């Protein structure tokens, strides 16, 4: 009986879509920290600005893409909470 319950849960878990992945970062907001790092979803990521502008600590950004080397491309910068 216990084995049947465990197998049932395994089958249900395999049917659920994957909710973790770097693709889910696109369109999330974050905040620039220091030295080219951005905090998004509670994690620090290396990042660069899509327009080539310097990332300033405290600025709010939006993830536009994730590069092959896992560097985030961010845009829509708001300087320290101001537009």
pLDDT in tens, 16-74: 665 557 778 899 999 999 989 999 989 999 999 998 889 999 999 999 999 999 999 99
Q: Confirm if 64 and 74 have CB atoms less than 8 A apart.
A: yes
Taking the alpha carbons at both ends of the chain, their separation in whole angstroms is 60
What is the model's pTM? 0.68
Sequence-ordered list of residues with C-beta below 8 angstroms from that of 70, at least 6 positions apart, any chain:
22, 45, 46
Q: What is the pLDDT of residue 83?
A: 46
Rounded distance between C-alpha atoms, residue 80 and residue 59, angstroms: 5
Rounded distance between C-alpha atoms, residue 58 and residue 22, angstroms: 23
pLDDT surpassing 50 at residue 7: yes
Q: What is the pLDDT of residue 77?
A: 67
Q: What is the pLDDT of residue 71?
A: 94
pLDDT in tens, 72-82: 999 976 776 55
Q: What is the pLDDT of residue 43?
A: 92
Tokens 């985030």 sit on residue = 72
């Amino acid at each position: 009986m216990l084995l049947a319950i465990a197998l049932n849960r395994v089958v249900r878990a395999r049917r659920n879509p994957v909710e973790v992945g770097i693709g889910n970062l696109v369109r999330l907001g974050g905040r620039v920290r220091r030295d080219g790092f951005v905090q998004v979803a509670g994690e620090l990521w290396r990042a660069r600005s899509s327009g080539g502008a310097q990332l300033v600590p405290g600025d709010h950004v939006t993830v536009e893409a994730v590069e092959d080397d896992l560097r985030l491309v961010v845009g829509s910068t708001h300087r320290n909470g101001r537009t």
